Structure 1
């Protein structure tokens, strides 16, 4: 081994490995690596030089440096790497903030200002082409929205309808001039609150139509859910339409002379009343026949007879409740349905009519005429049909007239 590793080769190896002292420990001609053991350190494996081609070599390496120096070198390398990583990270963060985060923050801030109507559009002063293009696209959308808003506002102001836009929190987002003409702020809030209460009760409040009378004005309101939290209320003044409807209804259901309900309407109500009595509700029917009307017509003329009929109708209306229904049956006869009223209740109301007619006077050509009536009373208790009730009441009124007139007749139980 010594012959193979001459002094010249040792010197060459020493210069190559940068070490002063070493000892060959182990190697082989078949191995590509030459193993060096450092004194006090870990094993080092190096590629075997070409000239070391002997079968077995052993080298022992002794470094003139201490272990602490090696650790310092390693630590320096680690610190250098970390410093480079930190510098690189800071550069990345700086570039990210300058070209991405800060422009994004400015863009969001401008959008918020537009939302709060402090700005009408976004600026185009952004560091990157992408943000500039995004600002241009948003400004174009804002311009389109502004044009549409002007068009819709113009339509809303020119329409003959009342228009309100509100949310679930009762906030009014838009109201046209007509809305403020009909209602003040408090009335609008009250109106919206009522609609929201109705909406909550419905499972699918997409389209609601209501007719409401406010003060002396009738409105037809249509509420449309345009978004999950947004509602559009369109109102129309239908007072004139309602007046026409009421006029037509009165013409169809009322007697022209007395302004009481006519016979046809009364028959419809009586059918429903008898049906309700069979479900346990109590009613009474008064059949009223005017006394001596033929004598008045023959003596003073038919106009005087008409005045008697109108006076009787007025006294009847003045002595009934809101839930009662009175009608002119025909000629000199009247009929009344007394709601939730038994026989005793019916007697009291009939007696009141007789007493007030007794107090009234009709002036015909300086002649004072007193009107009187005969009344038949039948309790509607669910045991009789419509025709039976009418026939019995008519018969009782006839008996009252035969018995001296100005009386009430009913079946004693």
Structure 2
């Protein structure tokens, strides 16, 4: 063995002797060029750190201290001590709950400490459910510190639903934690200005008492908080004959938003923001079912020019750009009463309400102009264009058109427009749009 190895091993031996004798040790600094000995030094330093952390935790536990620092997760040697610390903390929490008058369930843990604690819980439960005499001359039993009552109150405090219990005069006899956060400190729900909700609850109770319609539930929007609630009021009768009213108030704003988004997703084409085909056809059916003979409507069938060529030559990302861009132009050009829906991959259906064919053509001409401006401002190796066919209709005379007939007429006019463009292109003439 060379001198350097002998020196390093002696330093490590001294460190280990101190550890075995119970002395506190700091990390040792060993400088060596031998990789194996350097690795061993690192491991010994880790061992020193782990033992110091264990000793500190063990000393805290022996002195009854549970708020000291914990060894980190990677210190596996301290796992039994950390488990003991967790068990003692759980027991102390349970004892504090009992001391404060709360009732707790039995704790699942090993050893005599938990056995004794659970026996104590059994005794408290038995004592809390015994009858303690009666009120005055009545024969109504008076349970003191009812075990079940405490369990119910504990559960209600954990709910995200607000719970408010009032007596017949509107005096608040119980509010769970969620209700206190919502309403603050309140003694009476009648004549309150803090929350429109309290006035509504009072109204629910009054009306339901008169009509005997309990339970009653209502969906309510409170404007000042921009929040939707589901409010339920019910009543119950105590053996003494006293009536109480139990109210639950649940914030359903997120549910309302999700419901709205689901409704939107069922009617709107996700890619373009236009209505989808099903919604457009349903709207057309409604229009045809009306008996309004004084209005004229138009539908326009729109088909994007050369989308397959764009996809094949420039990629589907450019094809998607074309579809989205033309959809934006259609949406930005129509009137607020009109509707655009995506009928197919490269096809759109426009419903013009209370509109003549001339007005519809004027609006579509504006669409072509917008596309031409886009082509000039943001030139692409292809042209943004579409072909269209407009069909006017009304419900006079009856019977009305069928949806399929209208779509067929508009589709034929659209193909006439497309063929005219092809003929002009073949002749070398520019086409409109």
Between Structure 1 and Structure 2, whose CA radius of gyration is higher? Answer: 1
- Normalising by structure 2, we get a TM-score of 0.47
